[in-house]
Protein backbone atom coordinates (compact mmCIF):
# COMPACT_ATOMS: atom_id res chain seq x y z
CA UNK A 1 0.00 0.00 0.00
CA UNK A 2 1.09 3.56 -0.67
CA UNK A 3 0.64 7.08 0.69
CA UNK A 4 -1.21 9.51 -1.63
CA UNK A 5 0.83 12.39 -3.05
CA UNK A 6 -2.29 14.56 -3.01
CA UNK A 7 -5.69 14.23 -1.39
CA UNK A 8 -8.92 16.16 -1.08
CA UNK A 9 -10.62 16.01 2.34
CA UNK A 10 -14.22 17.05 2.86
CA UNK A 11 -15.92 17.72 6.15
CA UNK A 12 -19.62 16.88 6.25
CA UNK A 13 -22.17 17.58 8.97
CA UNK A 14 -24.34 14.46 9.14
CA UNK A 15 -27.87 13.98 10.46
CA UNK A 16 -28.66 17.64 9.92
CA UNK A 17 -29.72 19.93 7.09
CA UNK A 18 -28.06 22.94 8.74
CA UNK A 19 -24.33 23.68 8.86
CA UNK A 20 -22.54 23.46 12.23
CA UNK A 21 -25.07 21.01 13.67
CA UNK A 22 -25.33 17.24 13.60
CA UNK A 23 -22.16 15.16 13.65
CA UNK A 24 -19.13 16.25 11.62
CA UNK A 25 -17.13 13.62 9.75
CA UNK A 26 -14.13 13.92 7.46
CA UNK A 27 -14.35 11.97 4.20
CA UNK A 28 -11.42 10.96 2.00
CA UNK A 29 -12.24 9.35 -1.36
CA UNK A 30 -9.11 7.51 -2.48
CA UNK A 31 -8.12 5.95 -5.79
CA UNK A 32 -6.72 2.80 -4.15
CA UNK A 33 -5.89 1.29 -0.72
CA UNK A 34 -3.43 3.28 1.38
CA UNK A 35 -1.16 2.65 4.35
CA UNK A 36 -3.05 2.17 7.63
CA UNK A 37 -0.61 4.25 9.69
CA UNK A 38 -1.21 7.11 7.27
CA UNK A 39 -4.99 6.83 7.74
CA UNK A 40 -4.57 6.84 11.50
CA UNK A 41 -2.37 9.94 11.28
CA UNK A 42 -4.94 11.76 9.14
CA UNK A 43 -7.77 10.81 11.53
CA UNK A 44 -5.77 12.10 14.50
CA UNK A 45 -5.02 15.32 12.60
CA UNK A 46 -8.70 15.86 11.72
CA UNK A 47 -9.59 15.20 15.39
CA UNK A 48 -13.26 14.48 14.62
CA UNK A 49 -15.26 11.64 16.07
CA UNK A 50 -14.78 9.84 12.76
CA UNK A 51 -12.76 10.11 9.55
CA UNK A 52 -13.90 7.88 6.69
CA UNK A 53 -11.59 6.47 4.00
CA UNK A 54 -13.07 4.81 0.93
CA UNK A 55 -11.83 3.58 -2.41
CA UNK A 56 -13.60 1.90 -5.33
CA UNK A 57 -13.81 -1.88 -5.63
CA UNK A 58 -15.56 -3.99 -8.26
CA UNK A 59 -19.13 -3.60 -6.95
CA UNK A 60 -18.96 -0.52 -4.74
CA UNK A 61 -16.51 0.99 -2.28
CA UNK A 62 -14.32 -0.34 0.50
CA UNK A 63 -14.93 1.81 3.59
CA UNK A 64 -13.03 2.17 6.88
CA UNK A 65 -13.69 4.50 9.82
CA UNK A 66 -11.17 5.89 12.33
CA UNK A 67 -11.62 7.95 15.48
CA UNK A 68 -8.63 10.08 16.53
CA UNK A 69 -7.34 7.04 18.45
CA UNK A 70 -8.74 3.81 16.97
CA UNK A 71 -10.44 2.08 14.04
CA UNK A 72 -14.09 1.16 14.61
CA UNK A 73 -16.24 -1.62 13.19
CA UNK A 74 -19.40 0.37 12.49
CA UNK A 75 -20.16 4.08 12.13
CA UNK A 76 -23.43 5.60 10.99
CA UNK A 77 -22.71 9.29 10.57
CA UNK A 78 -19.46 8.79 8.64
CA UNK A 79 -21.21 6.31 6.34
CA UNK A 80 -23.96 8.86 5.76
CA UNK A 81 -21.29 11.49 5.10
CA UNK A 82 -19.45 9.17 2.70
CA UNK A 83 -22.62 8.47 0.71
CA UNK A 84 -23.38 12.20 0.62
CA UNK A 85 -19.90 12.90 -0.80
CA UNK A 86 -20.20 10.19 -3.46
CA UNK A 87 -23.38 11.78 -4.80
CA UNK A 88 -22.60 15.47 -4.23
CA UNK A 89 -19.10 15.25 -5.74
CA UNK A 90 -20.20 13.27 -8.79
CA UNK A 91 -18.56 9.93 -7.94
CA UNK A 92 -21.93 8.17 -8.07
CA UNK A 93 -25.17 8.81 -9.95
CA UNK A 94 -27.90 10.09 -7.59
CA UNK A 95 -30.18 7.22 -8.63
CA UNK A 96 -27.57 4.56 -7.83
CA UNK A 97 -27.31 2.69 -4.53
CA UNK A 98 -24.07 3.29 -2.65
CA UNK A 99 -22.53 -0.05 -1.63
CA UNK A 100 -19.91 -0.14 1.13
CA UNK A 101 -17.79 -3.16 2.03
CA UNK A 102 -16.83 -2.81 5.70
CA UNK A 103 -15.77 -4.69 8.81
CA UNK A 104 -19.50 -5.04 9.53
CA UNK A 105 -20.28 -6.55 6.13
CA UNK A 106 -22.05 -4.95 3.20
CA UNK A 107 -23.80 -1.66 4.02
CA UNK A 108 -25.91 0.24 1.51
CA UNK A 109 -27.28 3.76 1.19
CA UNK A 110 -30.01 5.27 -0.98
CA UNK A 111 -30.72 8.91 -1.79
CA UNK A 112 -34.41 9.87 -1.62
CA UNK A 113 -34.90 13.59 -2.26
CA UNK A 114 -32.64 15.18 0.39
CA UNK A 115 -32.66 12.23 2.83
CA UNK A 116 -30.10 9.41 2.80
CA UNK A 117 -31.24 6.00 4.06
CA UNK A 118 -28.64 3.59 5.45
CA UNK A 119 -29.26 -0.17 5.69
CA UNK A 120 -27.47 -1.38 8.82
CA UNK A 121 -27.41 -4.61 10.86
CA UNK A 122 -29.87 -4.89 13.76
CA UNK A 123 -28.02 -5.05 17.11
CA UNK A 124 -30.52 -5.91 19.88
CA UNK A 125 -29.89 -5.58 23.60
CA UNK A 126 -30.66 -8.02 26.40
CA UNK A 127 -31.14 -7.07 30.06
CA UNK A 128 -27.99 -7.43 32.15
CA UNK A 129 -27.03 -6.78 35.74
CA UNK A 130 -25.65 -3.23 35.85
CA UNK A 131 -21.89 -2.99 36.10
CA UNK A 132 -21.12 -1.18 39.39
CA UNK A 133 -18.61 1.00 37.54
CA UNK A 134 -21.32 2.01 35.08
CA UNK A 135 -23.63 3.03 37.91
CA UNK A 136 -20.87 5.14 39.45
CA UNK A 137 -20.11 6.71 36.06
CA UNK A 138 -23.76 7.78 35.79
CA UNK A 139 -23.29 9.93 38.91
CA UNK A 140 -26.41 8.89 40.78
CA UNK A 141 -28.81 8.54 37.86
CA UNK A 142 -30.97 5.44 38.46
CA UNK A 143 -31.50 3.38 35.28
CA UNK A 144 -34.89 1.94 34.40
CA UNK A 145 -33.08 -0.59 32.19
CA UNK A 146 -29.51 -1.66 31.46
CA UNK A 147 -28.80 -3.86 28.46
CA UNK A 148 -25.83 -5.34 26.71
CA UNK A 149 -25.25 -6.04 23.02
CA UNK A 150 -26.02 -9.54 21.78
CA UNK A 151 -24.76 -9.26 18.20
CA UNK A 152 -22.59 -6.12 18.00
CA UNK A 153 -18.99 -6.56 16.90
CA UNK A 154 -18.06 -3.78 19.30
CA UNK A 155 -20.37 -3.90 22.29
CA UNK A 156 -22.22 -1.08 24.01
CA UNK A 157 -24.33 -0.72 27.10
CA UNK A 158 -27.82 0.70 26.69
CA UNK A 159 -29.29 2.61 29.64
CA UNK A 160 -32.84 3.93 29.84
CA UNK A 161 -33.38 6.84 32.23
CA UNK A 162 -36.65 8.12 33.66
CA UNK A 163 -37.12 11.14 31.39
CA UNK A 164 -35.65 13.31 28.67
CA UNK A 165 -34.68 15.81 31.35
CA UNK A 166 -32.55 13.11 33.01
CA UNK A 167 -30.89 12.28 29.68
CA UNK A 168 -30.14 15.92 28.88
CA UNK A 169 -28.77 16.74 32.35
CA UNK A 170 -26.52 13.67 32.63
CA UNK A 171 -22.86 14.52 33.23
CA UNK A 172 -21.02 11.19 33.26
CA UNK A 173 -17.69 10.47 34.89
CA UNK A 174 -15.75 9.89 31.69
CA UNK A 175 -12.64 8.55 33.41
CA UNK A 176 -14.70 5.77 35.00
CA UNK A 177 -16.71 5.17 31.84
CA UNK A 178 -13.49 4.68 29.86
CA UNK A 179 -12.66 1.63 31.99
CA UNK A 180 -15.85 -0.26 31.08
CA UNK A 181 -15.45 -3.40 28.91
CA UNK A 182 -17.47 -1.91 26.03
CA UNK A 183 -16.98 0.60 23.24
CA UNK A 184 -19.58 3.02 24.58
CA UNK A 185 -22.74 3.75 26.54
CA UNK A 186 -26.07 4.64 24.92
CA UNK A 187 -28.40 6.60 27.21
CA UNK A 188 -32.05 7.00 26.19
CA UNK A 189 -35.56 7.89 27.29
CA UNK A 190 -38.98 8.60 25.83
CA UNK A 191 -39.17 12.05 24.22
CA UNK A 192 -41.03 15.01 25.70
CA UNK A 193 -41.95 16.27 22.21
CA UNK A 194 -45.00 14.26 21.05
CA UNK A 195 -43.69 14.34 17.46
CA UNK A 196 -40.53 12.48 18.52
CA UNK A 197 -40.53 8.90 19.82
CA UNK A 198 -37.30 8.77 21.82
CA UNK A 199 -34.13 10.71 22.58
CA UNK A 200 -30.59 9.55 23.23
CA UNK A 201 -26.99 10.47 23.91
CA UNK A 202 -23.86 8.40 23.25
CA UNK A 203 -20.61 8.35 25.21
CA UNK A 204 -17.44 6.54 24.08
CA UNK A 205 -14.44 7.81 26.07
CA UNK A 206 -12.66 4.47 25.56
CA UNK A 207 -12.54 5.30 21.84
CA UNK A 208 -11.35 8.87 22.41
CA UNK A 209 -14.84 10.40 22.13
CA UNK A 210 -16.35 11.62 25.39
CA UNK A 211 -19.68 12.37 23.68
CA UNK A 212 -20.56 11.71 20.06
CA UNK A 213 -22.91 14.40 18.68
CA UNK A 214 -25.14 12.03 16.64
CA UNK A 215 -24.58 8.27 16.50
CA UNK A 216 -26.29 6.40 13.68
CA UNK A 217 -24.93 3.00 14.73
CA UNK A 218 -26.40 3.35 18.24
CA UNK A 219 -29.84 3.29 16.62
CA UNK A 220 -29.19 -0.29 15.52
CA UNK A 221 -29.82 -1.07 19.20
CA UNK A 222 -32.17 1.79 20.08
CA UNK A 223 -34.66 0.89 17.34
CA UNK A 224 -35.29 -2.72 18.43
CA UNK A 225 -35.38 -1.63 22.07
CA UNK A 226 -38.10 0.98 21.46
CA UNK A 227 -39.87 -1.33 19.00
CA UNK A 228 -40.50 -3.74 21.86
CA UNK A 229 -41.48 -0.97 24.28
CA UNK A 230 -43.73 1.04 21.96
CA UNK A 231 -45.09 -1.73 19.71
CA UNK A 232 -44.21 0.05 16.46
CA UNK A 233 -41.58 -0.29 13.75
CA UNK A 234 -40.93 3.27 12.57
CA UNK A 235 -39.62 6.11 14.71
CA UNK A 236 -38.52 9.72 14.69
CA UNK A 237 -35.53 9.99 17.00
CA UNK A 238 -33.50 12.90 18.29
CA UNK A 239 -29.98 12.79 19.70
CA UNK A 240 -29.86 15.53 22.32
CA UNK A 241 -26.16 16.35 22.40
CA UNK A 242 -25.12 20.00 22.27
CA UNK A 243 -25.09 19.94 18.45
CA UNK A 244 -28.05 17.56 18.18
CA UNK A 245 -29.47 15.63 15.26
CA UNK A 246 -32.66 14.10 13.85
CA UNK A 247 -33.04 10.57 12.51
CA UNK A 248 -35.82 8.55 10.92
CA UNK A 249 -35.48 4.90 11.94
CA UNK A 250 -37.30 1.74 10.78
CA UNK A 251 -36.93 -1.78 12.18
CA UNK A 252 -36.89 -4.73 9.78
CA UNK A 253 -36.39 -8.43 10.51
CA UNK A 254 -32.62 -8.33 10.92
CA UNK A 255 -31.81 -4.83 9.66
CA UNK A 256 -32.40 -1.23 10.70
CA UNK A 257 -32.99 1.56 8.19
CA UNK A 258 -31.51 4.86 9.42
CA UNK A 259 -32.28 8.05 7.50
CA UNK A 260 -30.73 11.47 7.84
CA UNK A 261 -29.63 14.54 5.95
CA UNK A 262 -26.13 15.89 5.39
CA UNK A 263 -24.35 19.05 4.27
CA UNK A 264 -20.74 19.65 3.20
CA UNK A 265 -19.14 22.47 5.21
CA UNK A 266 -15.43 22.29 4.31
CA UNK A 267 -13.31 21.17 1.36
CA UNK A 268 -9.54 21.13 1.53
CA UNK A 269 -6.35 19.68 0.06
CA UNK A 270 -3.75 17.79 2.04
CA UNK A 271 -0.36 19.44 1.38
CA UNK A 272 1.89 17.72 3.95
CA UNK A 273 2.95 14.06 4.02
CA UNK A 274 4.37 11.66 6.59
- So what's the pLDDT on residue 205? 95
The pTM (predicted TM-score) of the whole model is 0.94
Enter the CATH code of domain 125-251. Answer: 3.10.310.10
Question: Rounded to whole angstroms, how far apart are CA atoms 162 and 8?
Answer: 45
Instruction: Indicate where the chain has its CATH 3.10.310.10 domain(s).
Output: 7-119+259-270, 125-251
Which residues neighbour 241 within 8 Å (Cβ) at sequence distance 6 or greater?
201, 202, 211, 212, 213, 214
Nearest to 203 by CA among 219, 186, 188: 186
- Which contiguous run of DSSP H or E holds residue 204? strand 198-204
Question: Rounded to whole angstroms, how far apart are CA atoms 102 and 95?
Answer: 22
The number of angstroms, rounded, from the C-alpha of 242 to the middle of its chain's C-alpha atoms is: 16
Residue 158 phi, psi (nearest 5) = -120, 130
- So what's the pLDDT on residue 1? 65
Question: Rounded to whole angstroms, how far apart are CA atoms 3 and 6?
Answer: 9
- Considering the segment(s) 7-119+259-270 as one domain, its CATH architecture is Roll (3.10)
**Which residues are designated catalytic?**
50
- Local confidence pLDDT in tens for the 274 residues of the chain: 677 777 899 999 999 999 999 999 999 999 999 999 999 999 999 999 999 999 999 999 999 999 999 999 999 999 999 999 999 999 999 999 999 999 999 999 999 999 999 999 999 999 999 999 999 999 999 999 999 986 654 689 999 999 999 999 999 999 999 999 999 999 999 999 999 999 999 999 999 999 999 999 999 999 999 999 999 999 999 999 999 999 999 999 999 999 999 999 999 998 877 6
Amino acid sequence: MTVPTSLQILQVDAFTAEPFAGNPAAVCVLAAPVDEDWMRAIAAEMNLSETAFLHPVEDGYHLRWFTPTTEVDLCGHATLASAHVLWSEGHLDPGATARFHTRSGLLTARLEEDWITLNFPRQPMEPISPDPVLLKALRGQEPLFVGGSTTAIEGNYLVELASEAHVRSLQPDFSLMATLPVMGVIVTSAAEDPAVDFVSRYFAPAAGINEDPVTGSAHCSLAPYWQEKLGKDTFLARQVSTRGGLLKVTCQADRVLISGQAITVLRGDLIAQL
